[in-house]
Amino acid sequence: MRTIDLLPYDPSWKDQAEKEIERIHLAFEAFPLMLHHIGSTSIPSSWAKPILDLLGIVSDVTL
């Protein structure tokens, strides 16, 4: 059976997510893209796998 390690909430996860969101925005600056930090690492005081989850939203998928 596989073990999943959970860590206590780390406030730096928010900063790490914001940095990744900025990097993605720079890479796709020609496209209107909204990005959100989601999942357990985005919830203060929640234990989580130390993996950032980001959700990208576009208003028009035909671009």
Is position 47 within any domain? yes
Domain span at residue 43 reads 12-58
**What letter does residue 29 receive in the DSSP assignment?**
T
Q: What is the mean pLDDT of residues 30-50?
A: 95
Q: HEC states along 35-61?
A: EEEECHHHCCCCCECCCCEEEEEECCC
Rounded CA separation 47/25 (Å): 28
Considering its fold, how many domains does the chain have in total? 1
State residue 63's pLDDT score: 60
Is position 33 within any domain? yes
Q: Percentage of the chain with pLDDT > 90?
A: 84
For the stretch 11-45, what's the b/e string if a residue is b when 16 or more beta carbons lie within 10 angstroms of its beta carbon?
eebeeebeeebeeeeeeeeeeebebebebbbbeee
